[in-house]
Structure 1
Amino acid sequence: MRFRQSSSWIGLLFTALLWPLYAFAQSAPVVNVRVTQEPIAPAIPKDFLGLSYEAPALTSPYFDLSNKVYVQLLRNLGPGSFRFGGNSVESTFWLQAPIGANQTARRPLRRPTVITGSDLDRVFRFAHAIGWHVILGVNLGHFDPQMAADEAHYAVTHGGSALTGIEIGNEADLYGGNGWRTREWNYTQYHHDFTAYVGAIEQKTPGTPIVAPAFCCSQGYRWLPQLLRDDASKIHLVSFHMYPLYHAPGSKGPTAEQLLSTKVANWEDQHLQELASDVAPYHLPLRMAETNSVAGGGMPGVSDTYVAALWVADYLFRVAEHGLSGVNFHGGFFRGGYSPIWEQNGVFSAAPEYYGILLFHKAAQGRPVQVQVDVPSDLNVVAHAVAGSRGRLYVAIINKDFQNGAEVHLQLPSSFRHGEMLRLSGPAANAQEGITLGGRTVSADGTWSPADPERVKVSDRMAVVSVPALSAALITFYK
């Protein structure tokens, strides 16, 4: 009798342990993903990933090799790109130009910052040492072409191969509304100022690579085709800015559900396609030189949480699939908003966004290929694929659904022996800690290495993987 009771207890325990897996298998909706061999974009450039900072960061102590954790976090992402600009570039002045000498801005200075040669030297040394490049913004808000020409000359002669180019101004399409120019500000006036800057820079330092126009918004989408028709030959790299959501001052702000919504993803695709189509006839590289989740500094509780890691991974694949040459995620080093890397009391750490960027980096080793996804209409699951070298295939499955896991049936384009899977997961949608990629967090010293990857069986060019709600899986298939 005792034996029967014991057997019954063991059976109940065994059933309790297996029930979650059984329930998932029975209830998880099926998503069919078919990966083709059809390329949809050029190979992802090695320096595709990047960070964007406000111009005064040039004077900060962060860009020093003694900041070993910061250096390691950057090196985890391979070669990359720094961009210095933002709204504050319009209140940033090159030391050689006396402030107020030639400027024609219509508003008072906003915390003016002075940039010196030693600031640029420090940043260029840092970039050289870790294999990154620099996009340097110059002040257009306070109209002074000679000041810009002097700063550009120093950057070109001292930056060498670390300098990508000189970006002129920041979101000049908004000058008429934010006070840097009058309400009558239009494309003709912008073009006059732009060509004055390009002319002064070219006269002082011929061949300086120009990055433009750093537009962001609805008017910028209208002005960009005009600028390309007028001056494409003067531009080295086309830059644009994108934020899918906005946190208006005094408002509750966007939610995590909005950030991961199909509406936001569709908006991103529409605008990326428009930009790519405008630039394509001119055969110029196009870079999203400033971007992140929520404009206006990010949304606390959204931009600085685990959901941002899922958004950023999906967003990066979308940008690559539209053929852009790279992305610079804007931020500082602060908590409470968007920023891939945090710094607090001298301690650097990986923010939630960083994990999504790192996942993309592991797959960004080839050329994006076509993926067809058959998903139930009420399930928010997306898939991306990159055909890599040596016959490898990288497939990312991102489940942005807050409630439902998915059983994903992957149909592969050719025969593969097996796959290895890294999972991106977090303890909760609003988590800031405990996020893992490949079963591991980024260590306090900035290093990251995955645990032993999960093996994925391939049979008759088919693989089946489970992807729980609010998680992602990156599978590398081998021939």
Structure 2
Amino acid sequence: MANMYYPLLALSSCLLVSVARADVTIYGLFGQTTAAPVQQGASSTSAPSTTFITVPGPPSYTGLAAYNPVYWEPPAIPNPPPPTTFAIGVPTDQNLMTGISIPQAGTFFGFSIEMSVANQLIGTSSKNLNVPFLNYMSIIAEKAGSVHIRVGGNTQETAFVVDSLADGKMIEKDKEDASNPTATPVLALTPDLLYMLANVSSLVNINWYLGIPFNDTANWRFQIAELGEAILGDRLLGFQAANEPDLYGQHGHRPLTYSPFDFFGEYALFTQAWQADGNVPVKNKIIAPSTSYAVWSPEQVWDTGFVEAYGQYLSHLAVEHYPADNCAVIFPNPQNPPRDPLQVLPTYLTHQAGLDFVQPYLNSTALAQQWGKPFLLFETNTASCGGFPGISDAFTSALWGIDHALQLANSNFSGALFHFGGQNVSYNPFTAAPTNESALHGWTTGPLFYSAVFVAEVMGKSNTTRIKDMGANNGNGQTPAYAVFENGQFSKMAMINYMTDPSGANDYTATIYVGGSGWNEPNGVPASVQVKYLLAPSTSEKDNITWAGQTLGGRFASDGRWKGEENIQTVPCDQNANSCTVKVPAPGAAIVYFSQDAQAAIAGESYSTYPTTVLTKTKNTVTIDPSVLATSNGDSGKSRLNNMGGTSQGGTNGAAGAVAPGVAALFSALAGVAVFFRVTIR
């Protein structure tokens, strides 16, 4: 069936209140906005929808986590420090490189958006799209060729489709009928949600994963899939059927004894109904098992014969996993006490973090290749339940995100989707401004979005990229490096320096030898290489982050477009010695472009931006040529403030009465303090 689109009448600058969710969804008047206690000796007190963190000495921050101004003191330089000069040898031909990854696509680093809050991040309707969202995604699409986004999560499990909702809404949550420990509501949605996704894809090259319900095995609901096929067409990547099934028992969706074999049996019922549905023409786009690793290992699912039995329906195999959690502040548990972010911080500033994360999945990625299925990390981020303040919202997460994604690619995952929350989580790639401040403030760019930009550029558009962890500097955890091959040839080197040292004493210099006698190849070093740097003053920095000299702005300062002049450095190489010497500041990350194709790609970069046509707020707005898009007032966000709750563990209720106090507390704090100072905790 041909794609069908509702008319895209306008792009709106009206930004809805965005509230929290993470990997596990809860609703209600409880939750935390600034995460775990700041450090030992710091105190915290609770209010109905916010936790107040007292930083030792004035001032203290009582606002929402996405705008937290508290900076942790970066970890000290290791003693002894790693060597700051070392060599890396790499062949020009990928066939001479052992242990190299499978081919990877530019879309490797994607995003995960909870279905119930798609109207807060993407747009309010098919007619009203959030301009900053389009701009952010345009950056990634230009570098990667496309962007992969999942719309689903816990709320997909109870979702059902209706023709229309009151006041023209496309999503409505029924919290009264929620009957589970996380209070995840029943979700009603209209076809307009899918038309909105289609209209986004008509402007930016985005393809979508959709979640479908798995809560009622006697009465399967496939309307989301039927409409998805009809409306999104070839923009549809696949359907996730079952979200974190290993947690069904703990969350009250199944008996506590629910096992992988029970799941296997339910999938038999699912595939029978799926096969019988004539309104779903494509049967082999299912993504499973999407376990969380909290209860079942992937092997427990594989051992049931799951892939052999249902492989004809599966387009991808998937898991969901966060490297840590900050859930104890929401659900106190003697077995899982609250974590001190200062103690956790160093674990994110080492290459070992990625090595430890992938280890339990190496068997599964190998099996996936045997089965001919891509293996996805379908949902991840720095830590579940909203991340850690001072880590997830700092330059730490930008460096971690690069290393995490490249290690996953090196280990033969085929993609990773990084999850979004709202204003009361720390880990967002970017965050919308509260509606009542959207006339004065822009969106907030999270450091993790710079990871996405970096990795998209590493992967490129060729869809032939192969990654190799070089074990640089004798495998030192502070100075990792990855070799990048495209079309069979060495093209780039990606390097990270996790240390913070403003003196420059711990900047490192890597001499990269390419080809030569070590592999009996002709010399592969060009006369010069080009280098782009991701930089910040320290790993604790939140606002002053640049990519090749440009920035997307700090808190409340972005519309998703670059600011400043691009600065690509040219470094001469020694063709007699067959080497190029490149410095990486402490902290920082660099991409070194070796091949002619890689250098030509960055020379020709350009991307589309989308200003607004809806002047409901007359400050910080621009117009768009009517020949590009017709104009309209669109739909107001005011009527959508009710029932916008969080969608995950750690989230707060989104009803207007609950949101207002948090917003008031935020801007009471920010008015004279948060935008203008930083607090460093040692």
Indicate whether the TM-score tops 0.5. yes
Separation (CA, whole Å) in 1 of partners of 2:415 and 2:467: 17
Change beyond 3 A, Cα 1:374–1:433: closer
Show the counterpart of 2:232: 159
Amino acid at match of 1:130: V
Question: Is 1:400 aligned with 2:498?
Answer: yes
Alignment partner of 2:282 out of 207, 213, 219: 207
Separation (CA, whole Å) in 2 of partners of 1:436 and 1:178: 42
Shift of residue 421, structure 1, vs aligned partner: 0.7
Question: Is 1:224 aligned with 2:326?
Answer: no
Shift of residue 93, structure 1, vs aligned partner: 3.1
Shift of residue 144, structure 1, vs aligned partner: 4.5
Percent identical across equivalent pairs?
Answer: 19
Amino acid at match of 1:70: F
- 1:302-317, aligned counterparts within 5 Å? 302-317=391-406
Alignment partner of 2:431 out of 320, 337, 342: 342
Q: Secondary structure at the match of 1:271?
A: helix
Is 1:105–1:143's contact at 8 Å kept on the other side of the alignment? no
- 1:132-171, aligned counterparts within 5 Å? 132-140=206-214, 142-144=215-217, 146-171=219-244
Alignment partner of 1:233 out of 298, 304, 312: 312
Q: Secondary structure at the match of 2:257?
A: coil
Separation (CA, whole Å) in 2 of partners of 1:147 and 1:58: 23
Show the counterpart of 1:38: 94
Separation (CA, whole Å) in 1 of partners of 2:108 and 2:587: 26
Separation (CA, whole Å) in 2 of partners of 1:175 and 1:186: 10
Change beyond 3 A, Cα 1:262–1:373: closer
Show the counterpart of 1:372: 470
Show the counterpart of 1:95: 162
Show the counterpart of 1:296: 385
Unaligned runs of 5+ in 1: 1-25
Count how many residue pairs are aligned between Structure 1 and Structure 2.
450
Show the counterpart of 1:6: none
Alignment partner of 1:447 out of 538, 557, 561: 561
Q: Secondary structure at the match of 1:176?
A: coil
Is 2:548–2:568's contact at 8 Å kept on the other side of the alignment? yes
Cα root mean square deviation, aligned: 2.9
Q: Secondary structure at the match of 2:366?
A: helix
Show the counterpart of 2:191: 117
Question: Is 1:330 aligned with 2:419?
Answer: yes
Change beyond 3 A, Cα 1:31–1:178: farther
Show the counterpart of 1:361: 456
What is the TM-score of this pair, normalised by structure 2? Answer: 0.61
Separation (CA, whole Å) in 1 of partners of 2:276 and 2:320: 28
Amino acid at match of 2:113: Y
Show the counterpart of 1:52: 112
Show the counterpart of 1:8: none
Separation (CA, whole Å) in 2 of partners of 1:378 and 1:237: 34
Change beyond 3 A, Cα 1:235–1:104: farther
Show the counterpart of 1:188: 261
Separation (CA, whole Å) in 1 of partners of 2:195 and 2:535: 40
Q: Which has the higher contact order (CA 8 A, sep 6+)?
A: 2
Change beyond 3 A, Cα 1:77–1:272: farther
Q: Secondary structure at the match of 2:249?
A: helix
Alignment deviations for residues 340-379 of structure 1 (CA, whole Å, 9 cap, x no partner): 1211134334211111111111111242244533425765
Worse overlay, 76-85 or 406-415: 406-415
Separation (CA, whole Å) in 1 of partners of 2:496 and 2:324: 20
The runs of 4+ residues in structure 1 deviating greater than 6 Å are: 103-108
Shift of residue 337, structure 1, vs aligned partner: 1.6
Separation (CA, whole Å) in 2 of partners of 1:56 and 1:106: 17
- 1:1-80, aligned counterparts within 5 Å? 29-36=84-91, 37-38=93-94, 40-60=100-120, 62-63=122-123, 66-78=129-141, 79-80=146-147
Is 1:55–1:88's contact at 8 Å kept on the other side of the alignment? yes
Separation (CA, whole Å) in 2 of partners of 1:71 and 1:295: 26
Change beyond 3 A, Cα 1:391–1:375: closer
Shift of residue 106, structure 1, vs aligned partner: 7.0
Q: Secondary structure at the match of 2:289?
A: strand
Is 1:241–1:288's contact at 8 Å kept on the other side of the alignment? yes
Alignment deviations for residues 279-309 of structure 1 (CA, whole Å, 9 cap, x no partner): 1211011221111111222112111111000
Change beyond 3 A, Cα 1:336–1:166: closer
Shift of residue 420, structure 1, vs aligned partner: 0.7
Separation (CA, whole Å) in 1 of partners of 2:426 and 2:385: 9
Separation (CA, whole Å) in 2 of partners of 1:371 and 1:179: 42
Amino acid at match of 1:210: I
Is 1:35–1:369's contact at 8 Å kept on the other side of the alignment? no
Alignment partner of 2:446 out of 338, 347, 351: 351
Change beyond 3 A, Cα 1:95–1:222: farther
Show the counterpart of 1:411: 513
Change beyond 3 A, Cα 1:446–1:107: closer
Amino acid at match of 1:213: P
Show the counterpart of 1:15: none
Amino acid at match of 1:467: V
Change beyond 3 A, Cα 1:249–1:108: closer
Amino acid at match of 2:160: F
Worse overlay, 249-258 or 293-302: 249-258
Amino acid at match of 1:44: Q
Alignment deviations for residues 87-111 of structure 1 (CA, whole Å, 9 cap, x no partner): 3333433338xx99xx998779523
Show the counterpart of 2:8: none
Is 2:386–2:424's contact at 8 Å kept on the other side of the alignment? no
Change beyond 3 A, Cα 1:220–1:464: same
Query: Which structure shows the higher strand fraction?
Result: 1
Change beyond 3 A, Cα 1:175–1:336: closer
Question: Is 1:425 aligned with 2:535?
Answer: yes
Alignment deviations for residues 136-168 of structure 1 (CA, whole Å, 9 cap, x no partner): 11222x324644323211211222111111101
Q: Secondary structure at the match of 2:248?
A: helix
Change beyond 3 A, Cα 1:169–1:196: same
Separation (CA, whole Å) in 2 of partners of 1:429 and 1:374: 21
Separation (CA, whole Å) in 1 of partners of 2:565 and 2:458: 14
Amino acid at match of 1:120: L
Alignment partner of 2:408 out of 319, 328, 345: 319
Separation (CA, whole Å) in 2 of partners of 1:458 and 1:331: 42
Show the counterpart of 1:4: none
Amino acid at match of 2:447: P
Amino acid at match of 2:572: K
Question: Is 1:474 aligned with 2:553?
Answer: no
Alignment deviations for residues 371-393 of structure 1 (CA, whole Å, 9 cap, x no partner): 53342576511001212359671
Change beyond 3 A, Cα 1:324–1:379: closer
Is 1:423–1:471's contact at 8 Å kept on the other side of the alignment? yes
